[in-house]
Amino acid sequence: MPWIKDSTYPCPRFLTNGHLQTIFPALFRRVPVVTDVRERLELDDGDFIDIDWFRPHHPSDKLVVLTHGLESTARDSSVQGMARAFALQGWNVAAWNFRGCSGEENRTLGSYHSGSSGDLGTVLIHAMNVTSSRKVALVGFSIGGNITLKYLGESSDAVDDRIVGAVALSVPCDLAASALELEAPGNRIYMRRFLQTLETKMIAKARRFPGQVDASLVRRMRTFREFDDTFTGPLHGFRDAQDYWRQCSSLFLLDRIRVPTLLINALDDPFLGKSCYPTDIAQDHQWLHLETPTHGGHLGFVTFGRKGMYWSEERTLSFLQSPGSF
């Protein structure tokens, strides 16, 4: 499938900087909560996942499952903007929160990580069953996009035939390259923000599981490499950060995807290394479309005057509702 170099994204003139695109929605975008009905899904390991739902007034056989980004929630403006776009088209919308991201600490020592495709699979099966949906789409944001692509690659030819399409936005599909990019001086503000919330969660884990998490190490973390070496990797069964990144990067599974999939990564995304633009894979791929707008930052793609809808939401709908998809 094509590598779409000539993206249709109409970037506003004053937002041609990737950092501005990244920060603008976080500071200024306000989207009413669309998925306002919460369901708690109890898991076999004793933990839980909270799913936020929108159900249309008239029964629908279409379902979209939305997967948010690192240290975000299903109530994030990027997720709710997408939820609104699908709700207006009469879809069932299931926006799930990673373990420990719904406002309540999860119960187990581990929580979620950048390759938690097993949890996505659990949510997906449950959501398909309770809605009796015949046509299902997946949309992932940032790390949620990596999880979505990883899930599809792992499923490959065995993917449920009700899943007919997917879109992944601003995806660090090579986790090692993205972690290195975020260590750059110009990106430290993002690194610090992520680590602050992760550190808070690790301190809570240390209190809840004494002797299993060393709280004295938490404040020393300065990079994802240090944090993932010390906490994320070992707590989730990986040897270290490198092992975790290698096993969880969707980049190495893209060639196995077998449903129509659109990956949108802006060229000015400050979170992404060069290998997060898999042009060589997309050019010879039957199912994967890669679109690389010149601008857009990380989960930006800001547009104005479209009833509050961003370009990324319009593009996602157009791809998933194109002839042959639905």
Question: CATH code at 69?
Answer: 3.40.50.1820
Work out whether strand 135-141 and strand 163-169 pair parallel, antiparallel, or are unpaired: parallel
Question: Tokens 């994802």 sit at which residue?
Answer: 224
The verdict on 56 and 203 lying in the same domain is: no
Q: How many domains does the chain have?
A: 2
- Residue 229 — φ and ψ, nearest 5°? -65, -40
How does 117-148 read in b/e, with b if 16+ C-beta sit within 10 Å? bebbebbbebbbebbebebbbbbbbbbbbbbb
Question: Does the residue 326 lie in any domain?
Answer: no
The helix (run of H) or strand (run of E) holding residue 41 is strand 37-42
The verdict on 7 and 33 lying in the same domain is: yes
Q: List, in sequence order, the alpha helices (H) in the chain.
A: 18-28, 77-87, 117-131, 143-155, 175-181, 188-208, 224-227, 233-235, 241-248, 279-283, 311-320
Rounded to whole angstroms, how far apart are CA atoms 179 and 127?
32
Residue 325's pLDDT is 52
The verdict on 228 and 282 lying in the same domain is: no
The verdict on 185 and 294 lying in the same domain is: no
The verdict on 283 and 148 lying in the same domain is: yes
pTM of the model: 0.97
The verdict on 127 and 161 lying in the same domain is: yes
Rounded to whole angstroms, how far apart are CA atoms 103 and 121?
22
- Supply the mean pLDDT for the chain: 95
The verdict on 126 and 193 lying in the same domain is: no
Residue 321's pLDDT is 86
Residue ranges of the chain whose pLDDT lies below 70: 1, 323-326
Active site residues: 142, 269, 298
Of the candidates 189, 217, 248, which is a domain's last residue? 248
What's the domain range around 156?
A: 3-173+249-320
The verdict on 123 and 15 lying in the same domain is: yes
**Which pair of structure tokens corresponds to residue 161?**
């035939």
The verdict on 194 and 301 lying in the same domain is: no
The verdict on 99 and 203 lying in the same domain is: no
The verdict on 139 and 231 lying in the same domain is: no
Of the candidates 214, 248, 282, which is a domain's last residue? 248
